[in-house]
Amino acid sequence: MAGHRTIIEVSDAAALAAAAAERLIKRIDANKERPAICLTGGSSPKRLYELLATDAYRSRIPWERVHWFIGDDRFVPESDALNNMAMAKGAFLDHCAPAANIHAIRTDAASPDEAASLYARELQAFHGSDRLDPARPLFDLVLLGVGPDGHVASLFPGYPGIEVTDRWVVGVPEAHVKPFVPRVSLTLPPLSSCHEMLFLMSGEDKRAILGRVLAGEDLPANRARSDGETIWLCDRAALPEGDSV
């Protein structure tokens, strides 16, 4: 149901990576043409990415057909350890995916705004339209992590990017939390345009912000909802007392 959120509890970070991998493979299997996955940065997805590169999972993914995008990136060169797509490439894409299926944000563009326009065009070319249609989602799966201030991708609370609905991608000149580097981020409309939005919440560091999200606070993490299914995959350490499911 669109807008509805389902919370799934798993025991720990290893179980979370395994559960996320199964959901990702299921979404890929459901699309017999060109599945599109929107990855996330930060530390939360690393274990999942490494798992996908292991033989057991690697052999279950039709790599030639799957296309990989990213929800946001830090505006730093690909050689910089802070670059989100470089992390995903190092963890699994470079070992498994054809280079032509990896759609990185161009952090070598002249500015975050220029990188945002280029990425919007790339997404629209892939989609075959510059219109989003709930009946034909852009992505099969959108992975998201949540920052300590409730941001998703690089859509920070109180910043203009969170309100943007007429552009698919925006430049974010300043970050609200570390690392304090400019960002480039998808906006809510393309992030929502998916069959499934999958939040990854692991470890006690996430407990405080998860409590605020579950209390219904107006945060980017609460505004991000899939046109299809919205799933919060949480391990026990991340779930606030009393929120066990």
Residues in contact with ligand 6PG by the rule CB under 6 A:
40-44, 72, 74, 84, 145-147, 151-154
Structure tokens at 50: 């490494």
Q: What is the DSSP string of 44-95?
A: TTHHHHHHHTSHHHHTTS-TTT-EEEESEEESS-TTSTT-HHHHHIIIIIHH
Cα 1 vs. chain centroid, distance in angstroms?
20
**13, 91, 9, 86: which is closest to 51 by C-alpha?**
91
Shortest Å, Cβ 146 to ligand 6PG: 6
Q: Which residue is nearest to ligand 6PG (CB)?
A: 42
Q: What angle do CA 105, 106, 111 make, to 5 degrees?
A: 115
Shortest Å, Cβ 65 to ligand 6PG: 25
Shortest Å, Cβ 64 to ligand 6PG: 27
Shortest Å, Cβ 175 to ligand 6PG: 8
Q: Which conformational region is residue 242 in: left (phi greater than 0), alpha (psi within -120 to 50 degrees), or beta?
A: left
Q: Which amino acid makes up residue 215?
A: A
Cβ–Cβ under 8 Å, residues 76 and 58: no
Select 31 or 240, whichever has its Cβ closest to ligand 6PG. Answer: 240
Shortest Å, Cβ 27 to ligand 6PG: 19
Select 31 or 209, whichever has its Cβ closest to ligand 6PG. Answer: 209
Select 42 or 90, whichever has its Cβ closest to ligand 6PG. Answer: 42
Select 31 or 234, whichever has its Cβ closest to ligand 6PG. Answer: 234
Cα 149 vs. chain centroid, distance in angstroms?
17
Select 137 or 150, whichever has its Cβ closest to ligand 6PG. Answer: 150
Shortest Å, Cβ 7 to ligand 6PG: 18
Select 137 or 145, whichever has its Cβ closest to ligand 6PG. Answer: 145
Shortest Å, Cβ 69 to ligand 6PG: 12
Select 120 or 200, whichever has its Cβ closest to ligand 6PG. Answer: 200
Residue spans of alpha helices (H) in the chain: 13-30, 46-52, 55-58, 84-88, 94-96, 112-127, 188-192, 207-214, 220-223
